[in-house]
Amino acid sequence: MLYGDGAFLGVRLLPLIGGLVAGAVPADRIARLLGARLAVATGFGGKR
């Protein structure tokens, strides 16, 4: 736990958690369509 944040740390992390959850659905669909290897490479910004 970070000092000075207390119980509000969880509240401050809610936007980050929401973004991760919202990005998981399209990422799953992309991985099914393109294959996991290409989806991960695209996420890292690399080439196949």
Overall domain count for the chain: 1
Residue 37: give the domain boundaries: 21-48
Between 23 and 45, the higher pLDDT residue: 23
35 domain-assigned: yes
Give the pTM. 0.54
Whether the Cβ atoms of residue 36 and residue 27 lie closer than 8 Å to each other: no
Distance CA 14, CA 24 (A): 15
The confidence score (pLDDT) of residue 38 equals 84
* pLDDT tens digits along 7-25: 777 788 889 999 989 988 8
The confidence score (pLDDT) of residue 9 equals 77
32 domain-assigned: yes
